[in-house]
Structure 1
Amino acid sequence: MLPLVAQPTQTASYVFTHFETSPETTGVSSIPYAVILSVLLSNYCLYGYDAAAHLTEETKGADRTGPIAILSSIALISVFGGAYYLALTFSIKDLEYLYREDNETGGALVPAQIIYDAFYGRFHSSTGAVLFMIIIWGSFFFCGLSVTTTAARAVYAVSRDKCIPFSPIWRKVHPTSKVPINAVWLCTAITLLLGLPILKLDVVFTAILSVSTVGWVGSYAVPIFARLVMAEESFKPGPFYLGRARRPVCFVAVLWICYTCSIFLLPTSYPLRLRTFNYAPIALGAALALVMLWWVLDARKWYKGPVRNIDVQNGHH
């Protein structure tokens, strides 16, 4: 719909071959650096497959349906995410104006500005742009719900393993709804607290995205790397098995995770100021330092690893 409103649109050669670094606003004039940073946006969308991974425990035949759900989510994100980016880039009216601090979105929300320019340029009214944004805000709301669901699922899982403070409270399941309500409220409260600084500083949002992506993707690198180096005879393949492709796929995955985790910690604009600084490395360093300190001082004395919640009888349940 957006390119139809934005007539005339940009040419295909502009969308697929034109490079613009906007050094006046971002301070970045290096094309390779711009390309490296541009990977970030697609990355944190593609990593949405972890929602499918978290919820496999509740599904029937999880050893087969889990991997299918993960691959399906990546395919869907690739198609719809690609279409969304193409719609936005084809609809750009004035590239310089997108980043100006005196524009309608204060230079902070480029996609919203593209939508505004398209509707205002066509109808000389911002009503259509607001309605269009409501669709996107609605999808943000549902995205927030799914993130809260998977976060609560993760809190429930680690509290079941007695891995976090006050575990008995968070692992409590509501008798009728069968949902760990306390874990859901904990995740909601943390989200609200993290969201408050965003009202004042845009850079906080970038830092939260960066830290959360590095955190959850970095954690996936651990089992993938373990699979890469473990002896083949000690691995028992499940029904969804990569066969000969297993080692190359694991190797590429580990390299890709190292690459993306590194670029999420890079500054996205120069010169470095308080408003433009990427606080992700500081936040990540502080979180890791606290966890390591907790481990050394206390947790290592009592934490014995995941708690088995399935009885093993004759080798299988």
Structure 2
Amino acid sequence: MPTAGGLYYASAVLAPEGWGPLAAWVTGWSNFLGQLTGPCSVGYALAYMILTAAAIGNPSYVIQTWHIYLTLLLMLFVSGLITMQSTKVIGRINIVGTWINLIALVIFVIWLPVGAVNMPKFQPNDVVWTSKGFVNGTDWPIGFATLMGFLSVIWTMSGYDAPFHLSEECSNANVAAPRAIVMTAQLGFYLGFPVILVIAYCVTDIEDVVAGALGQPMGAKCLQVLGPKAGLAMFAINIVAQYCVELGCIIAGSRVIYAYSRDDALPGSRWWKQVNKHTLTPVNALWFDLGINALLGLLMFASPVAIGAVFSIGAIAQYTAFTIPIALRLTAARDKFRPGNPPPPPAFSTFPCPWNLGRFSKPCGYIACTWVLFIIPILCFPASTGADLNALNMNYTIVIYGGVMACALLWYAVDARKWFKGPRINVEHVIHGDGDEVEEREVIVSEMMSKKDG
């Protein structure tokens, strides 16, 4: 399914007959919300990191909220100038960004334990691996609080569908895109786990890192373990790596907007679906994405919890969109789903087989759906309870995400169902028979398309 529509297209194909447009609409809007909040949430963290570095270098400097917002605007503007370039340039940027993140990871894992100035350098095993090391920053029991902590995990471990949205711009997409999705998840574990171990063993004062004067955990962590100069240097490397992540979020988000706009699924679609004649990329969609993120950044003036809702919305919206096509594949499409098959000779000797998970496909799907159904409600709870709960520390995730999705569904029920026929087909599927190669156009979502579009 090599299309920039990604999850939205998959839901339309896998849904029961007649339900394709609605499945695509719900998945599309949830994925749109998740991708839309990415540049803001990553950019907000990055802006705070930059200003924290300034505060470390100049202890008299006091970070103000408007400083963070102006830094966010500057980053969004500069990032837009970079990511509006041609696909060839963007591809090179992604490669450079990947290497920067890998190098930063290796430096962090080696430098932090070797250069630690605190004594003793490492926490004992019973603190790292048992409840002795738990610091509950909520009013909930430690077990429930631990589950709430998965927000940072699933927010970081997301964006699996980014290769899906870029598949129209890469060669050999039927292999390259799924391979990138699987490698992203695997490398996130193999490379991320050593980072977590280093943080757990080297930290000396968890409360100072999480809620210290700097207000930025990674900056406080580097400063606490390595000292002022070395800590600032390590923190600066993290900032550069984080900026590369920001660029990736912007690119993926712009392709989501572009793909949905081609099917008129978003307000103002006629502008966002235009492709720039010079760069051959959806520049209008990209700047629309950045403009929305600039507006979302204004939430930081309300309260830290309000801007924090952007992180929660991004995580919940993304995982909801990830799970819908998986659930459809396990239920409505369980009899008609066709895994990728190896191409016939002589192509078989030239190209690798199209990707599929084989016998692990269904177990992985059931585990994924069960996990998402379990964890998403937990992430909507506030950290405070009882008398400590007020308007400033309330968790507004369900209100914002639920409100937007409710409006999207209302729009579909009142008007969009009359004209929205699902994603337009832009790929010719090739069917190979026994012996001779037979080519035919497979109209997967024909019942969702008008005769004119067909």
Inter-partner Cα distance in structure 2 for 1:99 and 1:245: 39
Give the equivalent residue in structure 1 for 2:220: 113
- Asked whether the 8 Å contact 1:119–1:128 carries over to 2, the reply is yes
Inter-partner Cα distance in structure 1 for 2:276 and 2:425: 21
Give the equivalent residue in structure 2 for 1:203: 305
Equivalent in 355, 371, 376 of residue 256 of structure 1: 371
- Asked whether the 8 Å contact 1:161–1:305 carries over to 2, the reply is yes
Inter-partner Cα distance in structure 1 for 2:154 and 2:332: 28
Deviations 1:269-304 (A, max 9, x none): 443223322111111121112112211222112111
Give the equivalent residue in structure 1 for 2:245: 143
Structure 2 matches for 1:85-164, cutoff 5 A? 85-100=196-211, 103-105=212-214, 108-120=215-227, 126-164=228-266
How far does residue 148 in structure 1 lie from its aligned partner after superposition? 0.7
How far does residue 312 in structure 1 lie from its aligned partner after superposition? 6.5
Change in 2 beyond 3 A, CA 1:155/1:88: same
Deviations 1:182-214 (A, max 9, x none): 001011111111123225622233211111111
How far does residue 231 in structure 1 lie from its aligned partner after superposition? 5.4
How far does residue 49 in structure 1 lie from its aligned partner after superposition? 1.9
Moved more, 164-173 or 150-159: 164-173
Inter-partner Cα distance in structure 2 for 1:283 and 1:64: 37
Inter-partner Cα distance in structure 1 for 2:291 and 2:220: 31
3-state DSSP of counterpart to 1:247: helix
How far does residue 146 in structure 1 lie from its aligned partner after superposition? 0.6
Give the equivalent residue in structure 2 for 1:5: 115
Change in 2 beyond 3 A, CA 1:84/1:212: same
Change in 2 beyond 3 A, CA 1:76/1:2: same
- Asked whether the 8 Å contact 2:219–2:232 carries over to 1, the reply is no
Give the equivalent residue in structure 1 for 2:339: 237
Q: Between the two proteins, what is the percent identity of the paired residues?
A: 28
Give the equivalent residue in structure 1 for 2:71: none
Moved more, 206-215 or 4-13: 4-13
Change in 2 beyond 3 A, CA 1:87/1:140: same
Change in 2 beyond 3 A, CA 1:32/1:26: closer
Unaligned runs of 5+ in 1: 121-125
Amino acid at match of 1:278: N
Give the equivalent residue in structure 1 for 2:400: 283
Q: Does 1:43 align with 2:160?
A: no
Give the equivalent residue in structure 1 for 2:173: 62
TM-score, scaled relative to structure 1: 0.87
Inter-partner Cα distance in structure 1 for 2:157 and 2:379: 14
Inter-partner Cα distance in structure 2 for 1:151 and 1:115: 31
Give the equivalent residue in structure 1 for 2:139: 27
Q: Does 1:17 align with 2:130?
A: yes
Amino acid at match of 1:169: W
3-state DSSP of counterpart to 1:9: coil
- Asked whether the 8 Å contact 1:116–1:129 carries over to 2, the reply is yes
- Asked whether the 8 Å contact 1:148–1:184 carries over to 2, the reply is yes
How far does residue 310 in structure 1 lie from its aligned partner after superposition? 3.3
Inter-partner Cα distance in structure 1 for 2:279 and 2:255: 14
- Asked whether the 8 Å contact 1:170–1:180 carries over to 2, the reply is yes
Inter-partner Cα distance in structure 2 for 1:141 and 1:95: 26
3-state DSSP of counterpart to 2:160: helix
Deviations 1:17-67 (A, max 9, x none): 2445545x5333x22112212322222222232222322232222222222
Equivalent in 319, 338, 362 of residue 247 of structure 1: 362
Equivalent in 252, 266, 272 of residue 170 of structure 1: 272
Inter-partner Cα distance in structure 1 for 2:183 and 2:264: 33
Amino acid at match of 1:198: M
- Asked whether the 8 Å contact 1:40–1:263 carries over to 2, the reply is no
Q: Does 1:265 align with 2:372?
A: no
Inter-partner Cα distance in structure 1 for 2:226 and 2:203: 11
Give the equivalent residue in structure 1 for 2:391: 274
Inter-partner Cα distance in structure 2 for 1:99 and 1:242: 39
How far does residue 94 in structure 1 lie from its aligned partner after superposition? 2.0
Amino acid at match of 2:378: I
Amino acid at match of 1:26: T
- Asked whether the 8 Å contact 1:46–1:78 carries over to 2, the reply is no
Equivalent in 177, 186, 207 of residue 75 of structure 1: 186
Amino acid at match of 1:4: V
Select the structure with the greater relative contact order (CA < 8 A; seq sep ≥ 6).
2
3-state DSSP of counterpart to 2:329: helix
Amino acid at match of 1:3: P
How far does residue 316 in structure 1 lie from its aligned partner after superposition? 4.7
Inter-partner Cα distance in structure 1 for 2:410 and 2:333: 32
Give the equivalent residue in structure 1 for 2:67: none
Amino acid at match of 1:303: F
3-state DSSP of counterpart to 1:310: coil
